[in-house]
């Protein structure tokens, strides 16, 4: 079963990353109420740098809950986490924490059909320096790409509302390029460049 575990939003705030203060909305927090979904994303959510996050094709970011244990272990291994407590939903910067749908199983063009809205899979997330700052170790972005634990961006096909705890259906698109293959392809291109 594919489920929406948590809906997470944030406003842009200063973040210390790579030795400088930048504006970021990566620090998403779970909300318990129903959230309206408009063409540009979730009502109440912000993106600080629309050149890489946000806009019509990156309106909503989904991330599998199944990866949280991996990141908790990676943070401990790199000395970035002194505590054993679980990472909160939204920690990866995602709007939607989901379960039952991993990057190898979702393809560009697939759609997520919720009870009151529909979203289309557009692209994998490419991590930036802000992600490494939040994770607490410099290799976090590279690890995200290598492991294809990137999550995916969604556009809004039908506006509506989302509620944490609801299930949704995956509607297959052309099924030509999985999110896992797309992020690995970007990694290979970066190596060549």
Kindly list the structural domains of the chain, giving each domain's residue range(s) and its CATH number in brackets, ordered by start. Answer: 3-192 (2.40.33.20)
Mean predicted lDDT score pLDDT of the chain: 93
Reported pTM: 0.95
Confidence band for 147, pLDDT divided at 50, 70 and 90: very high
The tens digit of pLDDT for each residue in 94-128 reads 999 999 999 999 999 999 999 999 999 999 999 98
Predicted confidence at residue 188, as pLDDT, reads 66
Predicted confidence at residue 189, as pLDDT, reads 60
Within 13 Å of residue 100, how many CA atoms lie on the same side as its CB?
12
The tens digit of pLDDT for each residue in 12-41 reads 999 988 888 999 999 999 999 999 999 999
Instruction: Lowest mean pLDDT of 130-134, 153-157, 171-175, name the range.
Output: 130-134
Tokens describing residue 33: 């109420």
Report DSSP letters for the chain, one per residue.
Answer: --EEEEEEE---EEEEETTEEEEE----EEE-S-EEEETTEETT---S-TTTS-SSTTSEEEEEGGGHHHHHHHHHHTT-----PPPPTTTTS-SEEEES--TTT-BTT-EEE-SS-EEEEEEE----HHHHHHHTSTTHHHHHHHHT---EEEEEEE-EEE-TT-B-EEEP----SBHHHHHHHHHHHHHH-
193: pLDDT strictly greater than 70:
no
Predicted confidence at residue 101, as pLDDT, reads 98
User: Could you tell me if residue 25 is left (phi over 0), alpha (psi between -120 and 50 degrees) or otherwise beta?
Assistant: alpha
């Amino acid at each position: 079963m594919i489920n929406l575990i948590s809906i997470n939003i944030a406003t842009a705030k200063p973040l210390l990353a790579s030795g400088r203060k930048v504006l970021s909305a990566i620090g998403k927090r779970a909300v318990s109420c129903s959230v309206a979904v408009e063409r540009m994303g979730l009502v109440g959510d912000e993106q600080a740098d629309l050149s890489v996050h946000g806009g019509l094709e990156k309106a909503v970011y989904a991330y599998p809950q199944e990866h949280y244990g991996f990141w908790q272990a990676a943070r401990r291994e790199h000395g970035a986490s002194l505590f054993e407590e679980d990472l909160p939903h939204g920690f990866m910067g995602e709007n939607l924490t989901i379960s039952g749908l991993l990057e190898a199983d979702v393809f560009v063009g697939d759609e997520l059909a919720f009870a009151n809205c529909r979203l289309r899979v557009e692209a994998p997330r490419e991590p930036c320096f802000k992600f490494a700052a939040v994770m607490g170790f410099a290799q976090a972005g590279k690890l995200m790409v290598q492991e294809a634990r990137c999550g995916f961006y969604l556009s809004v096909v039908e506006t509506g509302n989302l509620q944490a705890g609801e299930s949704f259906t995956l509607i297959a698109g052309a099924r030509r390029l999985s999110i896992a293959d797309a992020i690995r392809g970007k990694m290979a291109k970066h190596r060549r460049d």
